[in-house]
Amino acid sequence: MQLSFKNILVCGGSGFIGSNFIRYIYNKYPDCKIFNLDLLTYAGNPANLADIEEKENKRNPANQRCHFFRGDICDGALLANIFEKYNFDAVINFAAESHVDRSFVSVFDFIRTNVEGVRSLIEATRKYKVSRFVQISTDEIYGSVPEGFSTEDAPLKPSNPYAASKAAADLLVQSYIKTHQVPALIVRGSNNYGPFQYPEKLIPLAISNIIEGIKVPIHGSGEHRRTWIHVNDFCSAIDTALHKAPDYSIYNASGEEKTNLEIQNNQLEIDRQHEEIVNQKNKMSSVLKTIDKLDHQQSYLEILILKGSLGNFFKEVNELQTLENGLKDDLSGLEESKIQLENKKNLLEARKSQLSQLKEKITENTEKISVDKKTKDQLLTSTKGQESNFQKLLAEVQAEQAKINSDIQNLEIEARKKLAEKNGTLPADDGFIWPVASRKVTAYFHDPEYPFRYIFEHPAIDIGATPQGTPIRAAGSGYVAKVQFRGDSSYAYLMIVHADGLSTVYGHISKPYVSQDNFVVQGEVIALSGGSLGGIGSGNLTTAPHLHFEVRLNGIPVDPLKYLP
């Protein structure tokens, strides 16, 4: 079986492996158009494809083969737009959060990109009937393997949040295969190395340190074994699976097993052999200089006969010829390795600014953590040493938020079931409107400055300048799924289910004007705002009068500002 594709979407194509795959496909299949979707986070670099861009700029725009979109694979609206417009016949997903250490402190980003992003992509693949979907996974989902190798049917035992998110994505793809018969494949790779690799990884770090004369770091004893595959070989494996593998297949793509210490010793051996070649060249030069110093008025042969050194001369010549023949192949290989090392050094130099920027971001995040700690310390001080009461209140708030979030997700599912049972049809609106007259946002979606961020991520925007009693209007036409109102200071809200998997939540209301299980139209007054600390409907965490406004897509909170005019 040999499939053929004309329009390929590569997600995460500006990263290390993704950019090498685009270059591989671009050079191998001259009739194929490639579309690169990448958010350009810390691991994505447009310079990785500068050579392709230079070639494309020389072509007539109508005949260009490589196109770039900057965007998020979790953005359903963006995916719908490009899938419908460009009619992709294959989707290959490299996009992922992949830094293991970051997964320990920012697991939400990994779940969002590696799980929700894959769900968005494979759902678009199903909806638009794409011929093939390839999910690029990792051998880390198998966990530690004491001996031998993992096969494709080995149990998944991820040992860190990154690996767990990739395992979850694999299971999600397999569920779409079983439930919807989506023509999908999974390719699980081992450790890749090669051009354009992020400089913090083991091999590029070792090369740059050797070039600069810096000690190469070895973690532990250096005996930890890992399998390595060159990125070009991995791209070849993906290409083979893409064009020849039957639907629903899973493949492991692995390379040679080496310890970290063996990797470092390989780099040092290259340097040692290069030094030996330089020494032999110097020896050959010394022999020729000795001949040149003799009487130039006599022939070289006469000089050698008179000096009685003819035999020694030919002996030297034979030795040098033997040496030259023996070193010829090594010299060729080492010169090529030297060129590659110099190219990688130039690439690493170009990326020093990126590392500097990353350091600045780390410093900035450290300062934010310090501010968060200061906020908590102030709260602890205000309790005048009553730590147990503070912890009890904190647990109650967290439990309340978790229950509200769970109730909202369950309610949305039940509401959509009711709509289906009643054959309810929602009016078609031209996007959402602002629910109140004010446009003053006092807290943003996942706001790093949110004062209660150490309790939970802020899933909404807070709209200020909304004193108690401000009319709240429906952002869009929909079905009222829930009205939570007790008439006291407990958290009060209402939820409206809209078309296309969207729903909105309006929190801190002081008086509802609509009831559950009814339809509302866009712009209709549905409640009055509350929000004053200790007032009706305010809840435990209100800091000032405001409206808490959420937008959810298929039950998951998303940034409301992306949906408001």
Calculate ∠ Cα 204-208-212, nearest 5°. 170
Q: Report d(CA 211, CA 198) in Å as an integer.
A: 17
How distant, in Å, are the alpha carbons of 49, 86, 96, 163, 473 from that of 99? 22, 32, 9, 10, 43
**Residue 10 CA to its chain's centroid (Å):** 13
Residues paired with 91 in a beta bridge: 9, 133
Q: Which two tokens stand for residue 420?
A: 């289906």
| DSSP element (H, E) containing 189 | strand 184-189
- Assess contact for 427 and 476: CB atoms under 8 A: no
Q: Which two tokens stand for residue 352?
A: 């020093």
State the first-to-last Cα distance of the chain, in angstroms, to the nearest integer: 50
Q: Report d(CA 205, CA 210) in Å as an integer.
A: 9
219: three-class secondary structure by DSSP: coil
- Assess contact for 532 and 507: CB atoms under 8 A: no
Residues annotated as catalytic (active site), given as ranges = 139-140, 162
Q: What are phi and psi of 196, to 5 degrees?
A: 70, 20
- CA dihedral sign of residues 63, 68, 74, 76: negative
In the sheet with 256-259, reading across from the earlier edge strand, the strands are 191-193, 225-230, 256-259
Residues paired with 138 in a beta bridge: 189
Residues paired with 251 in a beta bridge: 187
Q: What are phi and psi of 138, to 5 degrees?
A: -145, 150
DSSP designation for 426: P
Q: Which two tokens stand for residue 299?
A: 């022939």
Residues paired with 185 in a beta bridge: 134
* Full DSSP string of 62-77: GG--EEEEE--TT-HH
Calculate ∠ Cα 99-100-106, nearest 5°. 80
Strands 184-189, 250-253: pairing kind: parallel
